[in-house]
Amino acid sequence: MADNMAKDDDLQPLAPFEAQYRLEVRGWPSATITHQLREESQHWLSDMRFSITIARGQERSRFTTDDASTHALMYDSSYSVLGIGDSYQLRADDIASLDRQTAIIDLARRADNANCSFASPCDIHFADHRGREEHFQYYMADIDRLKVPAGEFDTHSVILFDSEKPDRELRISFHADFPGLILEALYQKDGKRDTHITLTRMTSMGDSKD
């Protein structure tokens, strides 16, 4: 759940999409992430998954939205490295705020009108894959348009940080018209790039951009 952000009636409505990202993690081979956001009968589903030679993973979140908020219903994930891994599932009662997939969607919905600055950052709370509460702060980045492999798009960008780990920073640039669609995400430790995600392809309403 995010605090001190957009007014309740300002949340951006969702639009379904399918996307592919290029994932680069320091010390690992690059991989492709697929991300799908779609509306089902009475809720939305966000599904992310990746696979490389030695590892694979998937996260799925079901949630509902209204004009004022985003509500987590269920989250499940699975990971494996060299065939050894585990899976996790959280239901609504296990999630005090939002799961991390839903938190991405909620943050993107608010990013256009969030009144969050470096001097006065906003707070975001969510549960990790085991249900443990996480707390970050964030502020708006001065990036209005971004060029990525899939094209050039208007963006709403935020920078997240943990006040207890000042050497780490995550910048996420969301597509301005598709909340939750990531144009670029850059995670840095000690000023060095650790993880980099870029949009390589997107499809919506039968139209594709790659």
**CATH number of the structural domain spanning residue 25:** 2.50.20
Q: What is the pLDDT of residue 2?
A: 53
Give bridge partners of residue 59 from the DSSP assignment.
48, 77
Q: Nearest-CA neighbor of 14 among 94, 88, 107?
A: 107
Q: What is the pLDDT of residue 192?
A: 87
Q: Nearest-CA neighbor of 151 among 210, 65, 90, 86?
A: 210
Q: Count of domains in the chain?
A: 1
Domain that holds residue 24: 2-209
Cβ atoms within 10 A of the Cβ of 175, count?
24
Cα angle 41, 132, 58 (rounded to 5 degrees) comes to 50
Q: What is the pLDDT of residue 164?
A: 87
Return the HEC string of 108-164. Answer: HHHCCCCCCCCCCCEEEEEECCCCCEEEEEEEECCCCEEEECCEEEEEEEEEEECCC
Q: What is the pLDDT of residue 126?
A: 94
Q: What is the pLDDT of residue 205?
A: 52
Q: What is the pLDDT of residue 6?
A: 42
pLDDT tens-place values along the chain, 210 residues long: 455 444 445 788 999 999 999 999 888 888 999 999 999 988 999 999 988 777 888 999 999 999 889 999 999 999 888 778 888 899 998 888 899 999 999 999 998 776 899 999 999 999 998 889 999 999 999 999 999 999 999 999 999 999 888 889 999 999 999 999 999 999 999 888 999 999 999 998 545 455
Q: What is the pLDDT of residue 3?
A: 52
Under DSSP, is residue 14 helix (H, G, I), strand (E, B) or coil? coil
